Structure 1
Amino acid sequence: MIVLPIISCIILLLLAFIHVYWAFGGKKGIIAVIPQDNHNQRQFTPGKWITLLVAGCLFCACLILGIQSSLIPLIKQPKLVSILSFFCFLVFGLRAIGDFNYVGLFKKIRKTSFSKMDTIAYTPLCLFLSFTFIYVFMTK
């Protein structure tokens, strides 16, 4: 079942590159990726360095998944990779559950452009990634 980690690594790399694009001034798709309140006001405005940090974390998650699933071959997988793989499972799983207001399965705000995209794309994607990390963690 190597297909799941391959698909997930590709997704994580694409997301990392999109965040780099946004960090350096890209505007495409930016409207629907930041949580909004009922008046369509953004809840925060991420800066360049925070956006690059997110890109770096996504890239690291890709590396962790690649190593844990043996897509990136190492002679011996360090225990740290397994721990980080479980941590990624938790992070993506908690993101899918959400903050009970603006993001995740149990959000209250549901009529903004972000919340609609969160429902149809972001939360299911986080569930998929969380599942992939726990699957690879459990099979190694």
Structure 2
Amino acid sequence: MQVVLAVILSALLIAIGVVHLYWMLGGRKGMSIALPSHGDGSGKPLFKPGRFEIGAVIVLFWAAALLVLMYADVIPAIGPPRLPRLAAWALVIVFAIRAIGEFHYLGLFKRYRTSPFGRLDTYVYSPLCLVMSGLTWWMIGVS
């Protein structure tokens, strides 16, 4: 069961990384609904990530996918023996924090919900983070 959970979680992480790769290579479809916007109704994004920032996000998602696969012994572990377990717990925490949010523009408890990003964050992004946190927690508990 642990291997199945690891493969599902790593596939999600890789797929999210692929979407970011599309944006880094110049694709713009979906970018406007992937960034939080000001609560004043202007639709202006709070920030505009450059290629370097998007590339860093890709590396983090794909590294997380590899570490999850290492944790479940799907691929051989590299580095310190405790690294995959520490990384798995870090993912549980990071995805739970992302799901909860910062109470203004991001997360399940945000104040600004009516923008296109706000609606998708409420119904897709934050629940997905909660699911990924739960899947990782379940994967750790299976071992």
Question: Same fold judged by TM-score > 0.5?
Answer: yes
Q: How many residues align?
A: 140
SS in 1 for 2:55: helix
Out of 122, 126, 136, the residue aligned to residue 123 of structure 1 is 126
Distance 2:107 2:100 in 1: 5
CA contact (8 A) 2:95 2:133 kept: yes
Out of 45, 48, 61, the residue aligned to residue 51 of structure 2 is 48
| Structure 1 residues not aligned, in runs of 5+ | none
Residues 1-140 of structure 1: pairs in structure 2 closer than 5 A: 1=1, 2-38=3-39, 39=41, 40-74=43-77, 78-140=81-143
- After superposition, give the CA deviation of every residue in 1:13-59 in whole Å (9 maximum; x if it has no partner): 11111111101111111111000122222110001000000000000
SS in 1 for 2:32: helix
TM-score under structure 2 length normalisation: 0.90
| Structure 2 residues not aligned, in runs of 5+ | none
Amino acid corresponding to residue 9 of structure 1 in structure 2: S
Aligned-residue CA RMSD (Å): 1.8
Distance 1:47 1:85 in 2: 28
Distance 1:74 1:43 in 2: 38
Residues 51, 74 of structure 1: CA spacing in aligned structure 2 closer, same or farther, 3 A cutoff? closer
Amino acid corresponding to residue 114 of structure 1 in structure 2: F
Residues 47, 74 of structure 1: CA spacing in aligned structure 2 closer, same or farther, 3 A cutoff? closer
CA contact (8 A) 2:77 2:84 kept: no
SS in 2 for 1:18: helix
Runs of 4+ more than 4 Å apart:
none
CA contact (8 A) 2:71 2:77 kept: no
TM-score under structure 1 length normalisation: 0.92
